[in-house]
Amino acid sequence: MSDQPSYRGRVLIIAGSDSGGGAGIQADIKAVTMLGGYAATAITAITVQNTLGVHGVYPLPLDLIEAQARAVLDDIGADAIKTGMLGSTAVVERVAAILDSSSAPAVIDPVMIAKGGAALLADDAVAAVRSLMIPRAALLTPNAPEAEALTGIAVADLDGQRRAGEALLAMGARAVLMKGGHVPGATVVDLLLTPTGETLLEGERFDTRNTHGTGCTLASACAAGLAKGLPLEAAVAEAEAIRRAPGLGGGHGPLDHGWPVRDRK
């Protein structure tokens, strides 16, 4: 792997492409770039997608996925790796091998279902994510439905978040960020768990349709922070991208990843 110690912040993103630009690779690149990192990619699938939903998914060949990642790691290098949509057991297995070839910490976003409800992970691949990706996660970032699918534990309140997060730690994740967006309540509580304790990140819940790409954006923001050498707690600090959403499209709108640039003008 290329060794370029003069620059920290390189993030290799292994995920699917979203033609609408709100989620997937496109959201990942925006998030990493806006946080001062350098984003490189290995695309796992091409999706036909907009704010109204996912209209088609076209997986890329395994060798092509790996070739993209190897080209980046062998030349540019990576200070963190972020994974998103993997889609199948075969892709999970190949990506696990890629992670094993790098010393960079991995932020694993266990993408299963798109915001509009389309399945982005085959049912038989959930076990592969459980056995291969969770133990390789420096940080795992599941929402409540994903955590329930991975652990079998109901996540309907903070206690459920805590119990599911502890189960995921027991499966081998080094840290778990239990996202609280799907958990009912007047506020949203994200729960960061590590073997040494927990941190609650609480914020106001506000009503908006502009939530497309929230999971991708958060996981990539975490990866960017880790790549720059930030402590884990700082890397998962809350962002403003949802509140600044531009209101595009007729469905689940994208976020505004570029708000810091406009605020500086």
Which residues carry out catalysis? Answer: 179, 211, 213-216
The answer to whether residues 30 and 232 touch, using CB atoms and an 8 Å cutoff, is no
**Cα–Cα distance for residue pair 33/144, rounded to 1 Å:** 28
**Cα–Cα distance for residue pair 46/110, rounded to 1 Å:** 18
Strand ranges in the chain using DSSP code E only, listed in sequence order: 10-18, 38-50, 53-59, 80-83, 106-108, 139-140, 176-178, 187-194, 197-204
The answer to whether residues 21 and 252 touch, using CB atoms and an 8 Å cutoff, is no
- Measured at the CA of 28, the angle between CA 25 and CA 33, to 5 degrees, comes to 125
User: What residue type is assigned to position 17 of the chain?
Assistant: S
- Measured at the CA of 109, the angle between CA 104 and CA 115, to 5 degrees, comes to 155
The DSSP result for 41-79, as a single string, is EEEEEEEEEETTEEEEEEEPPHHHHHHHHHHHHHHT--S
Query: Is the C-alpha dihedral spanning 154, 159, 163, 165 positive or negative?
Result: positive
Residue whose entry in the numeric block shows the structure tokens 């922070």:
225
The answer to whether residues 73 and 1 touch, using CB atoms and an 8 Å cutoff, is yes
